[in-house]
Amino acid sequence: MPSEPALPLLRVELDLVADSEPIRGHLRDPSGERHGFHGWLELIELLRRAGNTSPGRSPEP
């Protein structure tokens, strides 16, 4: 079976506030910028933006 080419990986760091409801904390994106979030939708949006960042490509707004 042929192996698939390796996909590039992006590293993000996630700090969560323990026992918070809703979820909240900070995410450090691949460029090193730190972003706060409060709730699942904000976290998902930050992850989406981080995933749309690649070398030579600007992050989507």
pTM to 2 decimals?
0.72
E strands in the chain: 13-16, 24-28, 34-38
For position 12, what pLDDT does the model report? 94
CA distance to 7, 19, 31, 34, 51, per residue, from 39 (Å) = 29, 13, 22, 16, 19
pLDDT-derived band of residue 43, with 50, 70 and 90 as boundaries? very high
Cα–Cα distance for residue pair 14/1, rounded to 1 Å: 36
| pLDDT over 60 (residue 54) | no
Residue labelled with tokens 């600007």? 58
Instruction: Report the percent of the chain where pLDDT is more than 70.
Output: 82
